[in-house]
Amino acid sequence: MSVKIRLARKGRKKQAYYHVVVADSRSPRDGRFIEKIGTYNPLTDPATIDISFEKALGWLQKGAQPTDTCRAILKYKGVMMKKHLLEGVKKGAFDEAEADRRFNEWLKGKEEKIELKKSGLEKKGEELRKKKLEAEKAVKEARAAELARKAAALAAEAEAAAKAAAAAEAGEETAAEAAEETVAETAAEETTAQAEEASDDASAKEETAEETEKTE
């Protein structure tokens, strides 16, 4: 029986995570498996990997073949490195103590790389947060400036309308006064004309009376 170390998909659509399983190569991808040896979540940054080191190493030593993705996962966690060193011990290239020393040295370097990556991601995240805050601040300032501009424009329009209303009211009062003056002048002229007509009539009557007396 050919045994594979592979991923079994879990989770919802677009939110998948995976179980790392040992299964018969003839079984469906998400079908029956022999043993679950870990989990892999690619949605986090960096990806979250939880592997049972001893189980994974034991299955590799028994001849289980990992898929390309699982090989990369096992290599990242040091399982492939440990397997390689143990094979060196079996071949007599070095003893087990030397194998442990080399593995611990590799593991220390790997952990330093991981920490550097995490600190870099944290720094990058902090920079992104600062840029986001600055962008939000700029948007708020722009909105405040726009609101201030609109308020100033409305105030200017209200002031202009008030001045126009005052000017119109003053114009109406002036027109009313002018009309009153015109009416008064017309009335005075009519009174003067009537007085002159009355005076002319009286003069005419006196002249007529004098002529009548002379005639008699």
Going from the N-terminus, what domains does the chain have, and what CATH number goes with each? 3-86 (3.30.1320.10)
Strands 15-24 and 3-12: antiparallel
**Is 16 a residue whose pLDDT tops 70?**
yes
pLDDT digits (tens, 9 = 90+) for 65-77: 999 999 999 999 9
Confidence of residue 94 (pLDDT cuts 50, 70, 90): confident
Predicted TM-score (pTM) of the model is 0.55
**Tens digits of residue pLDDT in 193-205:** 666 676 666 666 6
The band of 84, judged by pLDDT with boundaries at 50, 70 and 90, is very high
Nearest Cα residue to 111 out of 76, 143, 84, 135? 76
- Average per-residue pLDDT for the chain: 83
CA distances from 154 to 157, 158, 165, 167 (A): 5, 6, 16, 20
* CA separation for the pair 35, 6 (Å, rounded): 11
Per-residue pLDDT band for 175 (boundaries 50, 70, 90) equals low
Q: Band of the pLDDT at 216, cuts 50, 70, 90?
A: low
Cβ within 8 Å of residue 29, ≥6 positions away: 6, 7, 8, 9
Q: Please give the Cα distance from 7 to 207 (Å, whole number).
A: 142
Closest CA to 65 of 91, 48, 83, 92: 83
Residue 38 pairs in a beta bridge with: 20, 51
Residue 49 and residue 40 in contact, taking contact as beta carbons nearer than 8 Å: yes
Per-residue pLDDT of 34-59, as tens digits, reads 999 999 999 887 789 999 999 999 99
